[in-house]
Amino acid sequence: MQPQFITIEGGEGVGKTTNLQLIESLLKQNRIDFIVTREPGGTPFAEEIRELLLNKRQEAVDPVAELLLVFAARKQHVEQTIKPALASGQWVVCDRFTDATFAYQGGGRELGFELIEQINQLALAGFKPNKTLLLDVDPDIGMQRAAKRSELDRFESEQMAFFERVRAAYRQRASDDAERFMVVDAGQDLVNVQTDITTVFQEYIDGVTHD
């Protein structure tokens, strides 16, 4: 059985943290050895880049500068954490990955997909997740949830139009690569969201482990 690289994606307030815990418990029930990590971050160096990216600041951050930092962190994370875990036979569950760059920098910051694809090739040479769970919700609902949490970071402080573009870009990615994506409607009640995730995720695990 090939160890799998799984990512969880979605806009702000989609419930990634809660649903990540559900995925962890499903993997445990299936006796799968795995690590959980996140982006931006996942190594000490990449976590420092995360701080740079998320901290609110007076200076406007150039979107391409932001994009390059995201990929700097990702390259480090892939080489230091993700690939070694997969090579040792562990599955990797990652909270956000390159699809977030397509959504936030490509869509949100309006850099487009082509530039991101080029840098992605340069940095990662086609390395991508086996499966991606996209939690999809109307940004109006998502931002209401996110606003109830702690102080908003640099991304969360964006305008609603930014989050509409993020959502549209995520949905575009999902329809362009329907085989890799599992899309769940995260606007439903949590119980229903979790039922949906359990169904699609267990089906996926069964498919991989019974190959």
Binding site for ligand TMP (CB under 6 A): 16, 38-40, 70, 96, 100-101, 104-105, 155
Pull the structure tokens for residue 115: 């530039």
Angle of helix 113-124 relative to helix 63-77, nearest 10 degrees, comes to: 30
- Taking the complex as a whole, the smallest distance from the CB of residue 4 to ligand TMP amounts, in Å, to 19
Sole residue written with tokens 């445990």: 28
- Taking the complex as a whole, the smallest distance from the CB of residue 194 to ligand TMP amounts, in Å, to 19
Q: Which is nearer to ligand TMP, 11 or 183 (CB)?
A: 11
Q: Which is nearer to ligand TMP, 18 or 209 (CB)?
A: 18
> Rounded to whole angstroms, how far apart are CA atoms 157 and 105?
15
Go through the chain and tell me how many residues it has: 211
Report the amino acid identity of residue 116.
I
Q: Which is nearer to ligand TMP, 58 or 150 (CB)?
A: 150
> Rounded to whole angstroms, how far apart are CA atoms 155 and 55?
9
CA angle (58 as vertex; 118, 110 as ends), nearest 5: 30
Q: Which is nearer to ligand TMP, 163 or 205 (CB)?
A: 163
- Taking the complex as a whole, the smallest distance from the CB of residue 198 to ligand TMP amounts, in Å, to 22
- Taking the complex as a whole, the smallest distance from the CB of residue 146 to ligand TMP amounts, in Å, to 9
